[in-house]
């Protein structure tokens, strides 16, 4: 049984692991004997960020942790050699190290091999500055092409934001093996203090040359400058303000902000429930209405669209939002009485949903048809349109923008293309002394009505049959 590393070694190792590996502390892996579990503070405030004490416990062997990249960037690449038998894994790792040193001119001192804990190995390259994820994946693909096919095994790219990698020097919970560093030539494990001394001597290398377009390089530099990889939290409030201002203006407001605004709008649209295709078209409408001197030289609409598609897909797959969708808002009894007075149950649902939306995004707000359909639980655009029309005719809501032709987008697609509609709520301002309740997306209209009104009050606004079928909450 291997000895535990000394306290001094562990302390130095924690510092070095922070330097070399850690890109986000809010999302990480915990390994158990039968599974890996992902913990993400963005999904629950009860999750503790990955801290130095936890890394120290990893090195002691008490727990085993893994990490993810920063979403856009990688400060290192792991080639995860995973084979069905130990001999194939060793042969594959020999070949991989040879390709990196001979075909890609990487110094052997910059190639760092460690035991994965199972039958395979991790081969790490550390960079002295972060590189774009796309560039890291391009380099990985070039290397794998040179390595060639592997029988009974594979070499996977790690880490991404969805696929993490286990930190070295801990204990594999299933096999009980220590994940020591290895001699890169013999692949013999450097056990005990030797592995910790090896870690202490690792120095990041200059990233390999990977071709990026001028615009990709400029965007990437902006991301690196503005991203704190030790925290990795988007400035959501600022992003929301930017998104709303840009949509108000219908174009970019500052030069060289296309990437930042595209990402803001992608998250805004995801939060609003707008379909991916609709989100891409909304973004393109903004970009095409923007004067060309706001973009970097050589930037083209085709590239904007590819990036819009990528960032929308990225945001929707990872459920990135600007953070307002799950905020609680205060709803007052006078507002609920106005909702109860507006017509049919479906119309009440729509007005309540608009009320909550306006509290999150302002009394004037954007509303895509797809979102309106979800608000009242219908698949019919006509039903959603008729419901909104009743609210407008009843003086509960007004159009701020309706059916406005997006001329730039229409020219590009060759047919009429319209900007998303915008609405303003016309309900009276509530008196803050009025009875109120804090609501989130978890409370339905029926829940909120019953919290603020007694059955007699509800019956003043709805028919008896509707009360029995829709509004009564049985104790």
Q: What is the pLDDT of residue 244?
A: 78
| Of 306, 313, 250, 245, residue with least CA distance to 279 | 313
Q: What is the pLDDT of residue 434?
A: 87
**Whole-Å CA distances, 317 to 96, 156, 206, 364:** 32, 21, 32, 28
Q: Residue 166 burial (CB < 10 Å; 0-12/13-18/19+)?
A: buried
Go through the domains of the chain in sequence order and give each one's CATH number: 7-201 (3.90.920), 234-317 (no CATH), 329-471 (no CATH)
pLDDT in tens, the chain (475 residues): 445 555 556 788 899 999 999 988 889 999 999 889 999 887 888 888 888 889 999 998 999 999 998 777 889 999 999 998 889 999 999 999 999 998 888 899 999 999 998 889 999 999 988 888 878 888 898 898 888 888 888 999 999 888 899 999 999 999 999 999 999 999 999 987 899 999 999 999 988 876 555 555 555 555 444 443 332 233 455 667 778 788 878 889 888 788 878 888 888 888 777 778 888 988 998 999 899 888 877 788 888 998 889 888 877 876 777 755 556 778 999 999 999 998 888 899 889 988 887 887 677 777 767 777 877 878 888 888 899 999 999 999 998 877 777 676 577 667 776 666 788 889 888 877 889 988 876 678 888 898 899 888 888 888 888 888 888 765 4
Q: What dihedral angle (degrees, nearest 10) is formed by the CA atoms of 355, 357, 363, 367?
A: -110
**Whole-Å CA distances, 439 to 249, 255, 322, 356, 432:** 31, 39, 19, 9, 16
Q: What is the pLDDT of residue 231?
A: 28
Q: Global pTM?
A: 0.49
Measured distance CA(36)–CA(65) in Å, rounded = 9
Count of CB atoms situated within 10 Å of the CB of 62: 12
Q: Residue 431 burial (CB < 10 Å; 0-12/13-18/19+)?
A: exposed
Strand blocks (E) in 318-449? 329-332, 364-366, 397-401, 422-425, 436-439
Measured distance CA(465)–CA(271) in Å, rounded = 36
Q: What is the pLDDT of residue 159?
A: 93
**Whole-Å CA distances, 448 to 432, 435, 451, 454:** 17, 12, 5, 11
Tell me which H or E stretch contains 130.
strand 121-132
In sign, the C-alpha dihedral spanning 374, 244, 295, 235 is negative
Q: What is the pLDDT of residue 225?
A: 46
Measured distance CA(87)–CA(121) in Å, rounded = 11
Do residues 245 and 339 lie in contact, with contact meaning Cβ atoms separated by under 8 Å? no
Do residues 67 and 56 lie in contact, with contact meaning Cβ atoms separated by under 8 Å? no
Q: What is the pLDDT of residue 235?
A: 41
Name residue 113's beta-bridge partners. 123, 182
Q: What is the pLDDT of residue 461?
A: 87
């Amino acid at each position: 049984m291997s000895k535990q590393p000394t306290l001094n070694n562990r302390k130095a190792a924690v510092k070095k692991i922070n330097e070399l590996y850690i890109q986000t502390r809010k999302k990480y892996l915990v390994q158990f004997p039968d599974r890996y579990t992902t913990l993400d503070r963005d999904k629950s405030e009860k999750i503790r960020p990955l801290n130095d004490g936890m890394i120290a416990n990893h090195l002691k062997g008490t727990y085993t942790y893994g990490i993810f990249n920063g979403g856009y960037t990688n400060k290192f690449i792991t080639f995860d050699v995973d084979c069905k038998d130990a001999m194939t894994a060793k042969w594959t790792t020999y070949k991989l190290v040879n390709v990196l040193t001979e075909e890609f001119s990487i110094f052997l001192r910059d190639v760092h091999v460690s035991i994965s804990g199972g039958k395979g190995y991790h081969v790490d390259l550390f960079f002295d500055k972060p590189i774009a994820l796309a560039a890291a994946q391009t380099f990985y693909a070039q290397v794998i092409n040179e390595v060639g096919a592997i029988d009974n095994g594979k070499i996977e790219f790690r880490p991404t934001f969805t696929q993490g990698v286990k930190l070295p020097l801990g204990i594999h919970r299933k096999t009980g093996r220590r994940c020591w560093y290895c001699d890169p030539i013999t692949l013999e494990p450097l056990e005990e203090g030797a592995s910790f001394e090896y870690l202490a001597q690792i120095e990041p290398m200059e990233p390999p040359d990977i071709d990026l377009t001028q615009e990709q390089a400029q965007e990437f530099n902006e991301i690196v400058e503005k991203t704190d990889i030790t925290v990795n939290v988007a400035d959501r409030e600022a992003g929301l303000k930017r998104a709303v201002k840009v949509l108000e203006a219908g174009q970019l407001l500052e030069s060289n902000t296309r990437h930042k605004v595209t990402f803001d709008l992608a998250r805004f649209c995801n939060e609003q429930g707008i379909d991916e295709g609709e989100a891409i078209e909304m973004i393109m409408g903004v970009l095409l209405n923007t004067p060309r001197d706001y973009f970097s030289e050589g930037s083209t609409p085709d590239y904007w669209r590819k990036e819009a598609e990528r960032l929308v897909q990225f945001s929707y797959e990872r459920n990135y939002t600007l953070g307002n969708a799950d905020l609680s808002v205060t709803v007052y009894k006078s507002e609920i009485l106005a909702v109860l007075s507006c017509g049919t149950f479906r119309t009440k649902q729509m007005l309540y949903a608009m009320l909550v939306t306006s509290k999150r995004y302002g009394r004037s707000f954007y509303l895509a048809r797809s979102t309106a359909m979800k608000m009242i639980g219908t698949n019919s655009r006509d039903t959603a349109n008729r419901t909104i029309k009743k609210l407008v005719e009843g003086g509960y809501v007004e159009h701020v923008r309706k059916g406005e032709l997006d001329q730039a987008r229409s020219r590009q697609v060759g047919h009429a293309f319209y900007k998303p509609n915008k609405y303003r709520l016309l309900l009276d301002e509530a008196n803050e002394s009025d009875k109120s309740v804090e609501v989130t997306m978890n409370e339905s209209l029926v829940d909120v009505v019953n919290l603020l009104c007694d059955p007699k009050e509800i019956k003043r606004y709805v028919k008896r049959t509707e009360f029995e079928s829709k509004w009564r909450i049985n104790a």
